[in-house]
Amino acid sequence: MASTSADKLFSLSGLFAVYKPKGPTSANLLNHLKAKLLAEAGVQEVVRKRKKPSLKIGHGGTLDSAASGVLVVGIGKGTKLLGSLLAGSKKYTAIGELGKATDTLDATGKVTEEKPYDQVTKGDLEKVLQKFTGDIMQVPPLCSALKKDGQRLSCLMKKGVAVEAKPARPVSVYNLSLQNFQPPLFTLDVECGGGFYVRSLVSDIGKELSSCASVRELTRTKHGPFTLEEHTLHEDKWTIDEIARSLDNCMSLLPEEPSHKKLKIEHSGESAVSCEDK
């Protein structure tokens, strides 16, 4: 039975989506998923040995530990498709808080500044959003998965190392709308391209309003064709059979390209393990 389960696990190939709750990093969640699948298949992880197959798995873009929502996972040769998702469209729902800035630009950080926000109206906020729609320049957060000298900025900050801001870079915002405004809280729906940071957006909005702001809650509601409501597997569905069914559904949503057609049924003979954030 274990052998049959293992054969099925190592034959899985393609993309599917899981639900990431608040708390774990994207990499930790992926390691947990991988451990559950290997345990179900009765396979012990092989480290740095090429005599036996190892489960190849990766994700299509880091979701902050404080954020929840869609995390796209590649398994087997499906990991080769993850690069295209990094540059693809994503949708988020963000709750921002006016009048409070933190060193991480979200609720997990230390408060670094507090400013009045009573003067801000719904009309002011809607007007400011227009400045952040389209192709814009954005400075990434100091606390992020971006790296300096091979180490993540977020890790350096936790060690107390002084971190310099990365230069502004071009990003795309396809749609940006205000869904709710109950000061100091405001809710945004954001559709953006790769490399975009919602935390930076909320912080910049606060500055434009002559105040400050940080993210209270962040949810990724869509990544590429995969939506939170229709395609994400919660942890109770992290089984070999459920993922096989999800692969059939999710792979049918991708554009038909020669590299996609055989991914679901091919055996992956590769031994590398890709569990790092992309």
CB 176 within 8 A of CB 129: yes
CB 187 within 8 A of CB 94: yes
Beta-strand runs (E) in the chain? 14-20, 57-59, 68-75, 90-98, 100-102, 111-114, 134-138, 147-148, 151-152, 169-182, 185-192, 213-223, 226-227, 232-233
Q: Which of 7, 64, 135, 248 is catalytic?
A: 64
Residue whose entry in the numeric block shows the structure tokens 């880091």: 62
Which ranges of 143-218 does DSSP label H, i.e. alpha helix?
Answer: 153-158, 198-208
One-letter amino acid for residue 62 of the chain: T
64 catalytic residue (yes or no): yes
Which ranges of the chain does DSSP label H, i.e. alpha helix?
Answer: 2-11, 26-41, 82-86, 122-129, 153-158, 198-208, 228-231, 240-251, 258-261
First to last CA, the chain: 35
Active site residues: 64
